């Protein structure tokens, strides 16, 4: 069974549009892009489209690839001080001459709708965050809409990134799941996945999760999408696993949910600041 993240994401954005009618003004999201990375531009176009569905004002500030770190910091401080901008993201990756951590930490945590600042990550650790990293939050919402039981279930997360694996593991633990974290270098991953009720694979390793590694009826969330020879390959052997399990497709699964959660976070940030 395929879990249709795209339709769920569109429904969330439609509800945000209706909710926005009760606010004093439309929420506003500012996106800063340094350079002209084609993948980044594609992601930004998707964010702009979802912002329109969610009733959010969208602003793109595109800077030249040779923009200095200090110049970028000045723009971030300007946006931080603008009371009519509720959410701010700096599109990653940044050029090599700019330190990513320095830039992320410069964002006002109240406007950090990506949930990347150390303050918001600390709140996530404590279970008190309202601006939660968008991909993990989107995965949790997918599980919720599918009425997937988490409390007491065996859950395997394959991937240890700061963007997906680590924060998602915290969210699942906070929800009562029994969580095992693996990565693409874990020996005999199948030993762990064969007893899992839920598997989230976000390792960036095409075809890592095979049919023999999952039990029938398992819920599988595939986050991996790796470009190889002009094609995007998934972390799961989708064609073999899909008849046995509930599974998210790539594209159309976690990706749209990530963007929908960005819009939801922008609404939350707006309500907190208005």
| 184: annotated active-site residue | no
**What is the four-CA torsion angle of 234, 236, 241, 242, rounded to 10 degrees?**
-40
What confidence score (pLDDT) does residue 7 get?
95
What confidence score (pLDDT) does residue 39 get?
85
What confidence score (pLDDT) does residue 96 get?
95
Cα separation of 230 and 226, whole Å?
Answer: 10
Calculate what percentage of the chain has a pLDDT beyond 90: 88
Query: What's the chain's average pLDDT?
Result: 94
pTM of the model: 0.95
Whether the pLDDT of residue 29 is over 80: the answer is yes
**86, 108, 112, 114: which one is catalytic?**
114
Catalogue all structural domains in the chain, each as residue range(s) with its CATH number. Answer: 23-126 (3.40.50.10860), 134-254 (3.40.50.720)
Long-range CB pairs of 82-85, under 8 A, 24+ apart, other chains included? 82/30, 83/273, 84/25, 84/28, 85/28, 85/29, 85/30, 85/59, 85/111
Query: Contact, 112 vs 138, CB < 8 A?
Result: no
90-112 mean pLDDT = 97
221-232 mean pLDDT = 80
234, with CB counted inside 10 A (0-12, 13-18, 19+), is buried
Cα separation of 137 and 10, whole Å?
Answer: 16
**28, 47, 111, 166: which one is catalytic?**
47
| 111: annotated active-site residue | no
138-144 mean pLDDT = 97
**91, 111, 197, 222: which one is catalytic?**
91
| 91: annotated active-site residue | yes
- Which conformational region is residue 84 in: left (phi greater than 0), alpha (psi within -120 to 50 degrees), or beta? alpha
Whether the pLDDT of residue 253 is over 90: the answer is yes
pLDDT tens-digit map of 149-203 = 999 999 999 999 999 999 999 999 999 999 999 988 899 999 999 999 999 999 9
What confidence score (pLDDT) does residue 197 get?
97
């Amino acid at each position: 069974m395929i879990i249709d993240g795209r339709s769920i994401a569109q429904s969330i954005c439609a509800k945000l549009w209706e909710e926005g009618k009760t606010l004093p003004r439309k929420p506003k999201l500012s996106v800063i892009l340094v350079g002209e990375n084609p993948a980044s531009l594609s992601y930004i176009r998707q964010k702009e489209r979802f912002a329109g569905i969610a009733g959010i004002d969208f602003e793109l500030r595109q800077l030249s690839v040779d923009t200095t770190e200090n110049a970028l910091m000045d723009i971030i401080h300007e946006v931080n001080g603008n009371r009519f901008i509720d959410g701010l993201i700096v599109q990653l990756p940044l050029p090599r001459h700019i330190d990513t951590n320095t830039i992320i930490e410069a964002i006002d945590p109240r406007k950090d709708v990506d949930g990347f600042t150390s303050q918001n990550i600390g709140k996530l650790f404590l279970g008190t965050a309202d601006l939660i990293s968008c991909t993990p939050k989107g995965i949790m919402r997918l599980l919720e809409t599918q009425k997937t039981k988490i409390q007491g279930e065996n859950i395997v997360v394959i991937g240890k990134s700061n963007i997906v694996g680590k924060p998602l593991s915290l969210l699942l633990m906070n929800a009562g799941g029994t969580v095992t974290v693996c990565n693409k270098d874990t020996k005999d991953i199948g030993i762990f996945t064969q007893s899992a009720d839920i598997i989230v694979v976000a390792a960036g390793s095409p075809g890592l999760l095979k049919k023999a590694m999952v039990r029938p009826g398992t819920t599988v969330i595939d986050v991996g999408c790796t470009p190889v020879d002009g094609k995007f390959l998934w972390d799961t052997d989708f064609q073999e696993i899909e008849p046995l399990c509930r599974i998210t497709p790539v594209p159309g699964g976690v990706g749209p949910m990530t963007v929908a959660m960005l819009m939801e976070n922008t609404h939350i940030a707006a309500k907190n600041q208005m």
